[in-house]
Structure 1
């Protein structure tokens, strides 16, 4: 437990974070994450954050040393996609019971589970995650993993991120520490070259990194390791031989990028593959870093030629949507890198941003938003569901882009909604991804269902009251005849 405290303290003291550098020593030790309320950490604890970062490593067995409920369902974790192995989507857990806890059988059960996975699946590595229960009862995860690695001849990596130690973001960073300590640098590649790069913080959600990788392939740039999206254990173990790195989501793995630069002299920059302009700028910066590290400068010219070609194709496709979407108002309720990268991408085709959430954004993210929007009036730290509903029901936005948890607010307000977070079904990265994002926004806004749901229900409609009009002479005569026959019967008319 003392080693875990030291790791957490080291993560809090992050010199690559400008906000952290501006604090005094006492405030720096406290970190940026708010303390968790006991019992209220589901879906946002450190264990969840660590598993989010490491589970997309597709050929690794992920073993949860905990009661069964801690594992949950791993099959559709965050929508990350794999081009090969599916072992990462299989749930492995030691399934501790109360009797195991009382009798102190946790470590023995963990060792047995590692052996069973090795014999049944033969993975290149096994990642072991303790949770609140096993951390509190004092199971020595690192000792068991070390012994199992020696016994079975494969890497067994302890990921010390039990849920109670902090937030999901802290768990992201602790996962990066586990990779640094036990994985990266453990294998020497025999094919290292001057055009090898790492992509950090890219999760390949809905396979969107597959829209970017062909661009790098055309430039002759090899992705040595994409951490963690569609990754393989061997690739990550060789990641220390890359020449440059791109940081996609700084709040998740900034500590990993900084320490790889310190240990192996791998320079990095923070960029985004969302939007045409940001994708082009990311390709330029990757090429420039490689040239600084010894690559042939001719790659800069090839990069500009590729950018010009791809931008022309993308703008031609987007031209059809500009007349339909220009001036449309978007409310963006997300965070992190998407709080500014998606904003920039949408503004490129004339869409107006009425608000963007910065709840999970860094200071650098907020500064980028200010530069893009020219002010901070459209930034909000947190908006309560009631406020979101009021804004949408008053038609201050034509569509809301957010995660699945707030979709029902938009639907209740009868406003189009599009999933932009990890559960999304469509890839939005790169040039083709930008076209797809705009296409989905257009489909959502112009869906004919909204005209129907906004109409009042039949039972809410009051029938129109007919006004009394003055009677004419003919109407008076007809009324007199009706009154005369009102009291007659059929016998009065005789036989027909």
Structure 2
């Protein structure tokens, strides 16, 4: 327990985080999470954060040791995609019940579950996640995993991040620690080369990394491991032989990037694949790091030539959208790396940013936003739903880009909305992804449905019609009577 406490404290005291270095010793112990407000939802827990980071490793069996609800609550919370194995889409849990807790059957059920997974699926590894219940009752997860690994002859990796440890962000980092201690460096590749890199913090949402990988392949740059998007266990185990690394989401795995640099001398930088300019800059920095690590300098020339060609194609495609979108106002209600990378991408085609959320952004993210927007008046830490609705209903923005949780605010305000968070259905990374993002914004803004729903109802815009309704109803009733007796003779009328 003391070693685990030391590990968590080490994660809180992250020297590679500029924001963390500015804190005093007391504030540093509290980590990155804000104090919880009584009555407010706490958001994702540490277990949820660890599962988010590791589940996209596609050929691994992810076994949850705890009650069934823990697996249900964290299942499929990211729109990651796989180009091959689908084992990660199968849910495994020990389904611990109250009777198991009382009788002390937790460890036995865990060992049995590992054996059943091994026999039925034969995965290259099994990741075991303890939950609050199994951590509180004292199940020795590490001992069980060690015994199972020896007996069944495959890696069984304990991911020690039960929910009560802290926030989702802490769980992200603890997942990185598990990879560092028990996976990375356990296999020596026989094909290491001077152009191997790692991509850290890329989740391959909606398959968007597949739009970036061909750009690297064209330059002769091999992605040794993309952690965790569309990853394989063996790729991650060999990741220590990469020559350079790119960090896409620093708040999740910056501790992993820093320690890999310390242990294996793998330099890294933080970049983005959102937007044309940022994608080109990321490719340049990757090539420059590889040259510094011994690669042939001619890769720099090939990189510039490829960038020039790809940018020309992308700008030509975007030219058709510029007259339709230039001057349109966008409200960006997201956070983290998207708070500045998407801002920069949209401004490249003349879209105006009326506001961007910095709720999950670091100090570095906020500084980038200030440099891009030239001021900080358009940044907001968080905006209440009532304020968002007022801003949209007053037509201060032409579209809102956000996650699914706030879509109904935009729809109620009769404002176009586009999902850019992890649930999105379209990939937005790289040059082609930027074109797709602009295309989706154009489709959303110019959808004819918005013109129709914004028009007032006939009885609202024509008060005279509303006043005449009683008289019109009377005339219609009289007309029905006349029609009923039309064409009848006097005799027929008398019979009636």
TM-score category (smaller protein): over 0.9
Where does 1:433-448 land on structure 2 (aligned, <5 Å)?
Answer: 433-448=433-448
Cα distance 1:139–1:463, how it changes in 2: closer, same or farther (>3 A)?
same
- Alignment match, 1:419: 419
**1:24 positional shift:** 2.0
Q: Deviations over 1:54-99 (max 9, x none)?
A: 0000000000001001101776441100000000011000000000
Task: Determine the C-alpha separation between the residues in 2 that align with 1:137 and 1:370.
Answer: 49
- Alignment match, 1:163: 163
Q: Which moved more, 1:4-13 or 1:232-241?
A: 4-13
Cα distance 1:94–1:37, how it changes in 2: closer, same or farther (>3 A)?
farther
Task: Determine the C-alpha separation between the residues in 2 that align with 1:306 and 1:368.
Answer: 26
1:184, 1:236 within 8 Å by CA — same for their partners in 2? yes
Cα distance 1:130–1:474, how it changes in 2: closer, same or farther (>3 A)?
closer
Cα distance 1:493–1:291, how it changes in 2: closer, same or farther (>3 A)?
closer
**1:25 positional shift:** 1.9
**1:455 positional shift:** 1.4
SS of alignment partner, residue 407 of structure 1 = helix
1:74, 1:89 within 8 Å by CA — same for their partners in 2? no
- Alignment match, 1:254: 254
**1:169 positional shift:** 0.7
Cα distance 1:78–1:470, how it changes in 2: closer, same or farther (>3 A)?
closer
**1:282 positional shift:** 0.1
* TM-score scaled by length of structure 2: 0.93
**1:405 positional shift:** 0.3
Task: Determine the C-alpha separation between the residues in 2 that align with 1:440 and 1:449.
Answer: 15
Cα distance 1:475–1:260, how it changes in 2: closer, same or farther (>3 A)?
closer
Where does 1:387-426 land on structure 2 (aligned, <5 Å)?
Answer: 387-426=387-426
Q: Deviations over 1:292-316 (max 9, x none)?
A: 0000000000000000000000000
> Rg bigger for which structure?
1
Cα distance 1:79–1:466, how it changes in 2: closer, same or farther (>3 A)?
closer
**1:26 positional shift:** 2.1
Cα distance 1:467–1:374, how it changes in 2: closer, same or farther (>3 A)?
same
Cα distance 1:454–1:121, how it changes in 2: closer, same or farther (>3 A)?
same
**1:21 positional shift:** 1.0
Task: Determine the C-alpha separation between the residues in 2 that align with 1:139 and 1:293.
Answer: 45
Q: Which moved more, 1:293-302 or 1:40-49?
A: 40-49
SS of alignment partner, residue 464 of structure 2 = coil
- Alignment match, 1:475: 475
1:73, 1:91 within 8 Å by CA — same for their partners in 2? no
Cα distance 1:474–1:41, how it changes in 2: closer, same or farther (>3 A)?
closer
**1:23 positional shift:** 1.8
1:35, 1:166 within 8 Å by CA — same for their partners in 2? no
**1:495 positional shift:** 20
Cα distance 1:38–1:266, how it changes in 2: closer, same or farther (>3 A)?
farther
1:205, 1:427 within 8 Å by CA — same for their partners in 2? yes
**1:472 positional shift:** 25
**1:473 positional shift:** 30
* TM-score scaled by length of structure 1: 0.93
Q: Deviations over 1:232-265 (max 9, x none)?
A: 0000000000000000000000000000000000
Cα distance 1:30–1:75, how it changes in 2: closer, same or farther (>3 A)?
closer
**1:414 positional shift:** 0.3
Cα distance 1:36–1:183, how it changes in 2: closer, same or farther (>3 A)?
farther
Task: Determine the C-alpha separation between the residues in 2 that align with 1:139 and 1:183.
Answer: 22
Cα distance 1:42–1:125, how it changes in 2: closer, same or farther (>3 A)?
farther
2:52, 2:77 within 8 Å by CA — same for their partners in 1? yes
Cα distance 1:266–1:452, how it changes in 2: closer, same or farther (>3 A)?
same
**1:103 positional shift:** 1.0
**1:465 positional shift:** 6.7
Unmatched runs of 5 consecutive residues or more in structure 1: none
- Alignment match, 1:322: 322
Cα distance 1:37–1:387, how it changes in 2: closer, same or farther (>3 A)?
closer
Unmatched runs of 5 consecutive residues or more in structure 2: none
Task: Determine the C-alpha separation between the residues in 2 that align with 1:421 and 1:292.
Answer: 35
**1:420 positional shift:** 0.3
Cα distance 1:132–1:464, how it changes in 2: closer, same or farther (>3 A)?
same
**1:221 positional shift:** 0.2
Cα distance 1:47–1:459, how it changes in 2: closer, same or farther (>3 A)?
farther
SS of alignment partner, residue 198 of structure 2 = strand
Cα distance 1:489–1:85, how it changes in 2: closer, same or farther (>3 A)?
closer
Q: Deviations over 1:162-182 (max 9, x none)?
A: 111111111100000000010
SS of alignment partner, residue 425 of structure 1 = coil
**1:493 positional shift:** 18
